[in-house]
Amino acid sequence: MTDTASPDTRQRDADDAGLAPTHGRPYGSVAVAGVPAPDSNSLRDPQDRRLPRIAGPCGLIIFGVTGDLARKKLLPAVYDLANRGLLPPGFALVGFARRDWANQDFEQIVHDAVKEHARTPFREEVWKQLKEGCRFVPGELGDDASFERLRATIEDLDRERGTNGNHAFYLSVPPRMFPVTIRQLKEHGLADQSPRHWRRVVVEKPFGHDLQSARELNRIVSEVFPPEAVFRIDHYLGKETVQNILALRFANQLYEPVWNANYVDHVQITMAEDIGIEGRAGYYDGIGAARDVIQNHLLQLLALNAMEEPVSFDAKSLRIEKQKVLAAVQLPRRLDLHTARGQYAEGWAGGVKVPGYLGEEGIPADSRTETYAAIKLEIDTRRWAGVPFYLRTGKRLARRVTEVGVVFKRAPHLPFAETATEELGHNTLVMRIQPDEGITLRFGSKVPGSQMEIRDVTMDFAYGGAFTESSPEAYERLILDVLLGEPPLFPRHEEVELSWQILDPIVNYWAEHDKPDQYPAGTWGPASANEMLARDGRTWRRP
Supply the residues annotated as catalytic: 297
Instruction: Build a one-symbol-per-residue string for 82-121: x at contacts with ligand BG6 by CB under 6 A, - elsewhere.
Output: ----------------------------------------
Q: How far apart are CA 5 and CA 15, in angstroms?
A: 14
Q: Taking the complex as a whole, how short is the minimal distance between the CB of residue 310 and ligand BG6, in angstroms?
A: 25
Length of the chain: 543
The amino acid present at 9, given as its one-letter code, is: T
The answer, yes or no, to whether the previous bond of 206 is cis (omega within 30 of 0) is yes
Minimum gap (Å) between residue 442 Cβ and ligand BG6: 23
- In this structure, how many other beta carbons lie within 10 angstroms of the beta carbon of residue 359? 13
Amino acid at residue number 243: Q
Number of Cβ within 10 Å of residue 543's Cβ equals: 19
Of 26 and 356, nearer to ligand BG6 (C-beta) is 356
Bin 362: left if φ > 0, else alpha if -120 < ψ < 50, else beta: left
Task: Name, in order, each residue with C-beta under 8 angstroms of 360's C-beta and a sequence gap of 6 or more.
Answer: 276, 277, 281
Whole-number minimum distance, CB 233 to ligand BG6, in Å?
9
CB 232 to ligand BG6: min, Å: 13
- Of 292 and 476, the one with the shorter C-beta distance to ligand BG6 is 292
User: Cis omega before residue 435 (within 30°)?
Assistant: yes
Q: Could you tell me how many helices (H) and strands (E) the chain has, helices first?
A: 18, 18
Strand, helix or coil for residue 475: helix
Contact between 497 and ligand BG6 by CB under 6 A: the answer reads: no
Q: Decide the pairing of beta strands 199-203 and 230-232.
A: parallel
Site for ligand BG6 in 309-328 (CB under 6 A): none
CB-wise, 110 or 478, nearer to ligand BG6? 478
Confirm or reject binding of residue 437 to ligand BG6 (CB under 6 A): no
Positions 377 through 416 that interact with ligand BG6 (CB under 6 A): 402
C-alpha 310: how far from chain center: 20
Query: 172 near 204, Cβ under 8 Å?
Result: yes
CB 52 within 8 A of CB 39: no
C-alpha span between 316 and 130 (Å, rounded): 34
Q: Which is nearer to ligand BG6, 81 or 92 (CB)?
A: 81
Give the C-alpha separation, 312 to 290, whole Å.
31
Least Å distance, CB 402 to ligand BG6, is: 6
DSSP β-ladder status, 92-97 and 134-138 = parallel
* Largest separation between any pair of C-alpha atoms in the chain: 84
Q: Under rule CB under 6 A, which residues in 257-276 are in contact with ligand BG6?
A: 273
Per-residue contact flags (x/-) with ligand BG6 for residues 273 to 292, judged by CB under 6 A: x------------------x
Number of residues that bind ligand BG6 (CB under 6 A): 4
CB of residue 510 to ligand BG6, shortest distance in Å: 18
Q: Output 273 or 504, the one with its CB closest to ligand BG6.
A: 273
Contact between residue 336 and residue 513 where contact means Cβ atoms under 8 Å apart: yes
Show the CA angle centred on residue 60, arms to residues 5 and 490, nearest 5°: 50
CA 384 to chain centre: 25
Closest residue to ligand BG6, based on beta-carbon distance: 292
Q: Is there binding between residue 293 and ligand BG6 (CB under 6 A)?
A: yes
Residue placing its CB nearer to ligand BG6 in the complex, 68 or 228: 68
Closest CA relative to residue 342, chosen from 539, 506, 527, 505:
527
* Smallest gap from residue 292 Cβ to ligand BG6 (A): 5
Query: For residues 402 and 428, which CB has a smaller minimum distance to ligand BG6 in the complex?
Result: 402
Nearer to ligand BG6, 88 or 522 (CB): 522
The CA-CA-CA angle for residues 471, 269, 401, to 5°, reads 50
What's the min distance (Å) between Cβ of 472 and ligand BG6?
13
Give residues in contact with ligand BG6 (CB under 6 A). 273, 292-293, 402
